[in-house]
Amino acid sequence: MQVRLLGPVEVRRDGVCPRLGGPLQRSLLAVLTLHANRAVSRSRLTFALWGDDPPMSVEAQLHQRVSRLRAVVGRKSIVRSVAGYVLTIEPTAVDVEMFDLAVGKAREAMIRGEAEEARRGLDEALRLWRGPALGGVAEHFARVEGPAVEERRLAAVELRAEAGLELGRHAELLGELKTLVAEHPLRERPRGHLMLALHRCGRTAEALEVYREGRDHLVHELGVEPGAGLRATHAAILADTQMEPPVAGIQTEGPRSNVAPLPCGCPSQAPAQLPPDIADFTGRTAEAHAVTSALSRSGTGVDAMPVMVISGPGGVGKTALAIHAGHQLAGAFPGGQLYANLHASESARADPPHVLAQFLSALGTPRTSLPDSHEGLTALFRSVTAQRHMLIVLDDAADEAQVRSLLPGNPNCAVLITSRVRLTGLEGARRIDVDVFDPEDAGAFLGRVEGRRRTAADPEASAELIRLCGCLPLAIRIAGAKLAARPHWDLRQFATLLSDERRRLDELVAGDLELRASLALSYGTLSQEARAACHMLARLPVPEFTAVTCAELMGVPMRVGERVTEQLLDAWLIKVSRVSPTGQTRYRFAELVRAYAREQFPGEQAPVESVSHRDGGHSRARESAPYHPLAGVGMIATP
């Protein structure tokens, strides 16, 4: 089976294209293929099919459409996981993947100075395009995803032009480059290539006019000057005019001037990979100060590289804090910033060697020079960063093992890590826990996301909405985004919807933001026994419980109950509520976590031992009984 997205979306099986169906089915196939072999959440699939206006029966319709697609691609090709649906397919069976692979090889050839090989590879890659990408998908999906796929084609066309310039095919390139510049007047790389081609054909005046027109476009439409690369090309052409220009229209064997094309293969400056700062970042003043203070001591004579771990529950804003602090620190690291999303979920976890290869490529190491082994990549990364003053941000780490090989050995570097677990085994790291907002910051954040109009007009309803969101930043962002998109909604009516615990998680969805998906990632890290305990504890009719309660419900020895309770605590699914006068630690769920945990059934007949009696605080199991969520309630410890 092959899936083709570079043109009309289609599947080919044994040389035949089976009927896919309408735009919604094509959108479903496209979004799963663009994220092939990775889980795609139900919320993202819903947005891909219906945008911001899903049907009332969205779950049933989504299930139905996935079933139809399975009939086309094979039932085993699409599997459901905790985090969503996964299309399992070989990369060589997807034209987008083959295109990216060919372009990557062409870039490597350019780095080696083999422009002819690069141009042949790019010609082959561009022949995979059969028309505008994602043809036949839903209109809103094409608007959202189409530009990113088209950007890959344009980058390949630009790289092919660079290869042509290296080969001296200046006159041959003029028509293609003029068309490209006319269609994309704000893109600077093809404009620079056109300037070079004109100059090398003896048409320097036209080359300078192309620069002037480009500058006018940028200044008038965006209010910015041309970038450093285009300005450098302009200056080099001006400086090169003292040379005898080539005769116009005559093809040369190679460059006839000292002006080089804008490079595509190697970084011309320090990497700056941090995602954009958060425009509505709110609160976290103390936490941001703690992070920047700890990491800014890099390069001040300390003996070891500073490492900071930001941990906290899903949706609490760990990534937002890390990115915000990273931008505050950027000026202190002239060597640049590297960023990687490590995807802690089991189905999409980033492989450390792959991350190291990406980092080394960003630092200018040709992929052909990369070692094959994990140990070799780690050693090379530490060698390359040995003389650099860099900030490395590792987002959403699964465990200590995933990040150890990504740490430089240079004390002038600094590393900032976010994780849903505390990474207590990471040697020498400082840690900061991030929890939900206090009510004041939560109110300010809701106002920023919603626009402050309704929240300021009805502070009482706003406070109730924040309470129902548990002061959790992700839940508040979703609620605020829904309110901003629906100006006709009343705050109190929305709060009433959220007050129904059975539908609260269903309402906390906006675009590809889904609270349930965030909670599923934390829940998915648990062992089977911890999942069963989490569900049973969430069903208790009381707000607090102890490790004794956990052991009684599970029908296991006290040490097992304590271990499971600690696992839930480490996953941020429960919190310490208080310590009773008798020294017992009491725990509780956040309401949103409790609502999610109650949905999760560990099995139809999960074996749970019934409790006959306790001996010295330890329960003794006597017989196996069918699973019941409220088993052992009578054994709840008292203060």
Question: Which pLDDT value is given to residue 637?
Answer: 36
Could you give phi then psi for residue 619, rounded to 5 degrees? -85, 150
* Stronger pLDDT, 623 or 229, i.e. the higher one: 229
- From the options 3.40.50.300, 1.10.10.10, 1.10.1060.10, 3.30.1360.120, give the CATH code of 9-89: 1.10.10.10
The mean per-residue pLDDT over the stretch 562-582 comes to: 88
The whole-number pLDDT of residue 230 equals 84
pTM of the model: 0.55
Averaged pLDDT, 574-592: 88
pLDDT digits (tens, 9 = 90+) for 462-500: 888 999 999 999 999 999 888 888 888 888 888 888 888
Distance CA 36, CA 96 (A): 11
- Mean of the pLDDT values across residues 39-61? 86
* CB 550 within 8 Å of CB 561: yes
Q: Cα(first)–Cα(last) distance of the chain, in Å?
A: 63
Q: In 249-351, which residue ranges form alpha helices assigned H by DSSP?
A: 285-295, 318-329
Predicted confidence (pLDDT) per residue in 190-200, tens digit: 999 999 999 99
Identity of the residue numbered 639: P
Amino acid at 578: R
SS (H, E, C) 535-571: HHHHCCCCCEECHHHHHHHHCCCHHHHHHHHHHHHHC
Check pLDDT > 70 for residue 154: yes
pLDDT computed for residue 527 by the predictor: 85
For residues 311 and 318, the answer to whether their CB atoms sit within 8 Å is: yes
- The per-residue pLDDT for 474 is 93
**Structure-block tokens of residue 6:** 């570079």
Tokens of 393: 């941000």
Sorted by where each begins, the domain ranges of the chain are 9-89, 91-167, 170-256, 285-433, 439-519, 526-635
Q: Confidence class of residue 254 from pLDDT cuts 50, 70 and 90?
A: very low
pLDDT of 407: 93
Tokens at residue 71, please? Answer: 């009939």
What distance lies between CA 506 and its chain's CA centroid?
23
State the architecture of 526-635 in CATH terms: Orthogonal Bundle (1.10)
Q: What dihedral angle (degrees, nearest 10) is formed by the CA atoms of 210, 212, 218, 219?
A: -170
Residue 634 has pLDDT above 60, yes or no: no
Q: Do the domains spanning 9-89 and 170-256 agree at the CATH topology level?
A: no
3-state secondary structure of 124: helix
Query: What CA–CA distance (Å, rounded) separates 292 from 312?
Result: 18
Helix (H, G, I), strand (E, B) or coil at 386: coil
Bridge partners (DSSP) of residue 608 are 625
The secondary structure of residue 94, as a DSSP letter, is B
For tokens 């590297």, the residue is 338
Average pLDDT, the chain: 83
Please say if the pLDDT value at position 16 is more than 80.
Answer: yes
Judged by DSSP in three states, 340 sits in strand
Alpha carbon 566 to chain centroid, angstroms = 29
CA–CA–CA angle 224, 389, 344 (5° rounding): 85
pLDDT by residue (tens digit) across 155-187? 899 999 999 999 999 999 999 999 999 999 988
Q: Residue 135's pLDDT is what? A: 93
Name the CATH architecture for the domain at 285-433: 3-Layer(aba) Sandwich (3.40)
What integer pLDDT is reported at residue 344 of this predicted model?
Answer: 65
Cβ neighbours of residue 300 closer than 8 Å, sequence gap 6 or more: none
pLDDT in tens, 436-470: 998 888 888 888 888 767 777 788 888 889 999 99
| Whether the predicted pLDDT of 11 surpasses 90 | yes
According to the model, what pLDDT value does residue 24 have? 94
In angstroms, the CA 421 to CA 558 distance is 24
358-398: pLDDT as tens digits = 998 888 877 767 788 888 888 889 888 887 889 999 999 98
For residue 372, the model assigns a pLDDT of 80
Question: For residue 238, is pLDDT > 60?
Answer: yes
* Higher pLDDT, residue 208 or 245: 208
Q: Does residue 620 carry a pLDDT above 70?
A: no
Q: Give per-residue pLDDT as tens, 280-335.
A: 888 888 898 889 888 876 544 455 789 999 999 989 999 999 999 999 888 888 88
CB neighbours of residue 21 within 10 Å: 15
Which of 15, 17, 13 lies closest to 26 in space, CA to CA? 17
What burial letters (b/e) apply to 556-594, b meaning 16+ CB within 10 Å?
bebebbbbbbebbbbbbbbeeeeeeeeebebbbbbbbbb
Output the pLDDT for position 203.
92
Summarize the confidence of residues 566-588 as an average pLDDT.
Answer: 88
CB atoms within 10 A of CB 75: 9
Q: Report how far residue 3's alpha carbon sits from residue 31's, in angstroms, rounded to the nearest whole number.
A: 12
Does the 170-256 domain belong in CATH 1.25.40.10?
Answer: yes
pLDDT at 297: 64
pLDDT in tens, 334-366: 888 999 999 866 667 888 999 999 998 888 877
279 pLDDT band, cuts 50/70/90, is confident
Greatest CA separation for the chain: 100
Enumerate residues 6+ apart whose C-beta is below 8 A from 590. Answer: 313, 436, 470, 472, 575
Rounded CA gap, 456 and 16, in Å?
Answer: 60
Q: Could you give the CA distance from residue 336 to residue 269 in angstroms, rounded to a whole number? A: 9
DSSP symbols for 394-440: EEEE--HHHHHTT--S-TT-EEEEEESS--TTSTT-EEEE--PPPHH
Task: Judge whether 36 and 91 are in contact, CB under 8 Å.
Answer: yes
Q: What tokens appear for 90 in the block?
A: 């070989």
For the stretch 90-137, pLDDT in tens is: 989 999 999 989 988 898 888 788 999 999 999 999 999 999 999 999
CA torsion through residues 212, 214, 219, 220, sign:
positive
Class of domain 439-519: mainly alpha
pLDDT on residue 186: 87
Confirm if 367 and 345 have CB atoms less than 8 A apart: no
